[in-house]
């Protein structure tokens, strides 16, 4: 029977699966597709240049053995990389793996420019929170890869983070944007990458900073007429980690200066790592030229941890604190607290504290008592219908009036507030919010949110409306 690309690759996968861990197989080999077999050369398609680099670095020997078993000593392997047309190049990148061509592979890699730095790098001006003599990385050493447990919910982000830590500025993941909801580990992972880089490359200048502090520093530099010093300082960083980059929304001056800093770092082979609570496509009031750069590298999402990962997290905390509790208690906590890692940690720590302070045995009854109280304190899922009810009651309207076409000022404001809080508290799209609040379109919702943002800063009475309703929704 004639061999096809698919049949050869299928047999290679059987061999590979027997020789590596299951998680590694799922992550690095399941996404690969066989596309062509021509003159003993098998072509496979991989999702990105990063996949190619990773396979080259970690699995080239395994691939060679597997392919030789199927096609003999003259076997060759070609990569076809699916590339977005970022730079106008529509041709797939291909390269050969056989040992007699290894040098050819190496010469294709892009050399990262080496910038000579003064080891006594000084801050060109005093920045609050950063030491004035040697740059303090502002990293938390407690956040490491060792205690960032891998699961299906974070595997891509963690693997990408490890790749960046091993080769900062030298992978396709530049920038690396890590995004996801509250308490899922964005900040932890960002710190872990920085800590690992400092450990492996002590000579590199790494800086972690929140977007909020970055913005404040920029404002201060404008006031003191030291804007150029501010830019120069950030251009000297080898690895820049900006946390909560969505905070730059609506801040055109800060976005402009970050755009120039980003371009300089990227062009000079420096690494940029960003975290955000939303994907680039969902960021509002961020300039398109900046958003396009966020998409140059990889956007990796952190999801809510699955049950197995939650179990592992709890066991890791207990091991770290030297505490033993029955397996059924661990399973109970993991089954009942699903939202994020932070709440999971809080619950198990509360359970241990209750047991210690009250000298009570950790049993299922105590676990139920603690978890019940904890879950009650966790902000519950708020629906668009519930928001409309709270807003209508506050303004003493009925929901029909709120959703009506009337243009009376107090009704319009109530409707805009309902849309604003629906966007804030729910995961619904703008179109869905508009549909549920009087059959409006997404543009109306977007306009409502901008109007509320503007009025909050200019109208004291309106700000009180927002604060009052916010408190009611947070109860």
- Domain ranges in the chain? 5-102, 155-302, 307-377, 384-474
Q: Is 170 annotated as a binding residue?
A: no
Dihedral of the alpha carbons of 435, 438, 443, 445, in degrees to the nearest 10 = -90
Higher pLDDT, 90 or 240: 240
Higher pLDDT, 32 or 98: 32
Q: Is 183 annotated as a binding residue?
A: yes
Q: Check pLDDT > 60 for residue 91.
A: no
Q: What pLDDT band is residue 474 in, cutting at 50, 70 and 90? A: confident
CATH-assigned architecture of domain 307-377? Orthogonal Bundle (1.10)
Q: Is 187 annotated as a binding residue?
A: yes
Out of 1.25.40.10, 1.20.1250.20, 3.40.50.300, 3.40.640.10, select the CATH number for domain 155-302.
Answer: 3.40.50.300
Which has the minimum average pLDDT: 122-126, 293-297, 312-316, 399-403? 122-126
Phi, psi for 214 (deg, rounded to 5): -55, -45
Mean pLDDT of 313-321: 76
Percentage helix, strand, coil, to 5, in the chain? 55, 10, 35
Mean pLDDT of the chain: 79
Q: Check pLDDT > 80 for residue 2.
A: no
Q: What pLDDT band is residue 374 in, cutting at 50, 70 and 90? A: low
CATH class, 384-474 region: mainly alpha
Q: Is 68 annotated as a binding residue?
A: no
Q: pLDDT, tens digit, for every residue of 4-33?
A: 999 999 999 999 988 888 777 887 888 888
Q: What pLDDT band is residue 230 in, cutting at 50, 70 and 90? A: confident
Do domains 5-102 and 384-474 share one topology? The answer is no
Q: pLDDT, tens digit, for every residue of 45-60?
A: 887 776 777 787 778 8
CA distance 359 to 361: 7
What pLDDT does residue 100 have? Answer: 33
Q: Check pLDDT > 80 for residue 241.
A: yes
Which has the minimum average pLDDT: 122-131, 146-155, 397-406? 122-131
Could you tell me the fold of the domain covering 5-102?
GMP Synthetase; Chain A, domain 3 (3.30.300)
Nearest to 295 by CA among 172, 187, 181: 172
Which has the minimum average pLDDT: 115-129, 181-195, 396-410? 115-129
CA distance 71 to 403: 68
**Strands 176-180 and 298-302, sheet pairing:** parallel
The helix/strand/coil state of 274 is strand
């Amino acid at each position: 029977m004639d061999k096809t690309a698919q049949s050869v690759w299928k047999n290679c996968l059987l061999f590979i699966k027997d020789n590596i861990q299951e998680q590694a197989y799922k992550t690095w080999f399941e996404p690969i597709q066989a596309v062509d077999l021509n003159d003993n050369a098998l072509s496979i398609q991989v999702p990105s240049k990063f996949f190619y680099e990773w396979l080259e670095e970690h699995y080239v020997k395994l691939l060679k053995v597997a392919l030789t078993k199927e096609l003999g000593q003259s076997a060759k392997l070609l990569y076809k990389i699916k590339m977005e047309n970022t730079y106008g190049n529509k041709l797939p990148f291909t390269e050969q793996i056989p040992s007699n061509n290894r040098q050819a592979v190496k010469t294709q890699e892009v050399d990262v420019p080496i910038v000579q730095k003064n080891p006594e790098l000084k801050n060109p001006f005093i920045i609050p929170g950063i030491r004035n003599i040697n740059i303090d990385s502002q990293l938390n050493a407690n956040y490491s890869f060792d205690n960032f447990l891998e699961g299906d919910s974070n595997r891509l982000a963690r693997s990408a983070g490890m790749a960046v830590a091993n080769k900062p500025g030298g992978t396709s993941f530049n920038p690396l944007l890590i995004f996801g909801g509250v308490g899922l580990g964005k900040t932890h992972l960002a710190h872990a990458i920085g800590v690992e880089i400092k450990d492996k490359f002590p000579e590199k200048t790494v800086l972690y900073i929140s977007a909020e502090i970055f913005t404040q520093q920029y404002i201060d530099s404008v006031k003191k007429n030291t804007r150029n010093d501010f830019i120069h300082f950030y251009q000297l960083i080898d690895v820049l980690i900006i946390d909560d980059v969505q905070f730059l929304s609506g801040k055109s001056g800060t976005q402009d200066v970050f755009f120039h800093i980003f371009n300089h770092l990227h062009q000079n082979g420096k690494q940029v790592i960003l975290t955000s609570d939303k994907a680039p496509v969902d960021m509002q009031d961020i300039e398109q030229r900046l958003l396009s750069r966020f998409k140059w590298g990889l956007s990796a999402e952190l999801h809510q941890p699955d049950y197995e990962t939650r179990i592992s997290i709890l066991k890791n905390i207990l091991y770290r604190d030297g505490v033993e509790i029955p397996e059924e208690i661990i399973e109970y906590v993991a089954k009942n607290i699903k939202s994020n890692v932070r709440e999971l940690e809080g619950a198990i720590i509360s359970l241990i504290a209750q047991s210690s302070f009250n000298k009570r045995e950790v049993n299922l009854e105590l676990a139920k008592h603690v978890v019940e109280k904890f879950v009650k304190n966790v902000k519950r899922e708020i629906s668009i219908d519930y928001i409309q009810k709270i807003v209508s009651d506050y303004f003493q309207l009925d929901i029909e009036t709120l959703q009506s076409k009337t243009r009376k000022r107090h009704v319009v404001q109530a409707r805009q507030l309902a849309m604003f809080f629906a966007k804030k508290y729910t995961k619904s799209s703008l179109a869905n919010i508009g549909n549920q609040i009087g059959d409006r379109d997404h543009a109306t919702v977007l306009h409502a949110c901008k109007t509320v943002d503007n009025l909050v800063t200019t109208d004291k009475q309106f700000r009180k409306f927002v604060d009052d309703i916010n408190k009611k929704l947070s109860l």
